[in-house]
């Protein structure tokens, strides 16, 4: 799954292709590597029109995942003879977020498939770890992918969740923030040698962006598909 991507573009290019009417991000860095839990630019639907805004990367985890983590924590505390308020422990269980959505049949995700919760995520290249290139004792290097060697602007098919209350990090405590993530799908033959299980669901042009942001879900969901091999290259 994709946990690193790069945006090398300008705000005007993003606004033009997405028809964003509102720009709320201030100045966009000319080159930006995005990692999970950082704020990245998205274009979302709002009652006032499409908005270019920075939002924190990582959607809410399923409740059963948090329940299991809180139960494990509670068991450890009880083993030490401590009393446990499980409801409070569950409320404060840290949730680092889910970066990518694959199973669109999950009830957890279905509540956010309306047009009011869809967004597009601009990128120019995305990375997948490449274990085959790892040098013994060193870090696993990344393989980078883009539409062409020139790395033109494209978009991930994204999901946006407004004003979600949770504990993202223990040191932050409970906070309420806007969140985003994006869909993945099976890999094409360009990505498969590096990542056999998934690649991001990518929107290549204005028509696909319009479909994702405005169409009924049955039509929009058809964009959760691998790109044709000819539409993606390994760039690094």
Longest CA–CA separation in the chain, Å: 61
Domain containing 197: what range? 5-60+96-234
Question: Which single residue is written with the structure tokens 């504990």?
Answer: 167
At residue 90, the 3 state secondary structure works out as helix
- Give the pair of three-digit tokens for residue 133: 């290139």
CATH number of the domain that residue 152 is part of: 3.90.1680.20
Considering the domain architecture, whether residues 187 and 172 belong to the same structural domain is answered as: yes
| Per-residue CA distances from 165 to 57, 95, 161, 173, 182 (Å) | 14, 10, 11, 10, 20
pTM: 0.93
Residues 54 and 65 in one domain: no
Domain count, the chain: 2
- List CB contacts of 214: < 8 A, sequence separation 6 or more: 115
CA terminus-to-terminus distance, the chain: 17
Query: pLDDT digit string (tens) for 71-83?
Result: 998 888 888 888 8
Are both 169 and 123 inside the same structural domain?
A: yes
Structure tokens at 230: 């000819």
Claim to verify: residue 205 and residue 224 sit in the same structural domain? yes
Q: Does pLDDT of 114 surpass 90?
A: yes
The string of pLDDT tens digits covering residues 195-231 is 999 999 999 999 999 999 999 999 999 999 999 999 9
């Amino acid at each position: 799954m994709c946990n690193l991507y790069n945006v090398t573009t300008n705000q005007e290019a993003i606004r033009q292709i997405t028809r964003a009417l509102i720009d709320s991000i201030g100045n966009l860095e000319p080159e930006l590597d995005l990692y999970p839990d950082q704020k990245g630019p998205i274009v979302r639907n709002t009652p006032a029109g499409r908005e270019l805004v920075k939002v924190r990367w990582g959607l809410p985890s399923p409740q059963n995942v948090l329940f299991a983590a809180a139960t494990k924590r509670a068991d450890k505390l009880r083993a030490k003879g401590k009393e446990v308020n499980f409801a409070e422990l569950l409320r404060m269980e840290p949730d680092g977020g889910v970066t990518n959505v694959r199973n669109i049949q999950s009830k957890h995700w279905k509540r956010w498939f309306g047009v009011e919760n869809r967004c597009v995520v601009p990128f120019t290249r995305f990375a997948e770890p490449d274990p085959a290139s790892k040098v013994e004792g060193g870090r696993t290097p990344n393989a980078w992918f883009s539409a062409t060697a020139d790395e033109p602007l494209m978009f991930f098919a994204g999901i946006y969740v407004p004003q979600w209350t949770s504990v993202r990090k223990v040191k932050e405590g409970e906070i309420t923030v806007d969140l985003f993530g994006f869909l993945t799908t099976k890999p094409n033959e360009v990505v498969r040698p590096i990542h056999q299980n998934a690649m991001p669901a990518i929107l290549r042009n204005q028509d696909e962006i319009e479909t994702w942001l405005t169409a009924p879900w049955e039509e929009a969901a058809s964009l959760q598909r691998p790109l044709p091999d000819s539409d993606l290259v390994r760039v690094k």
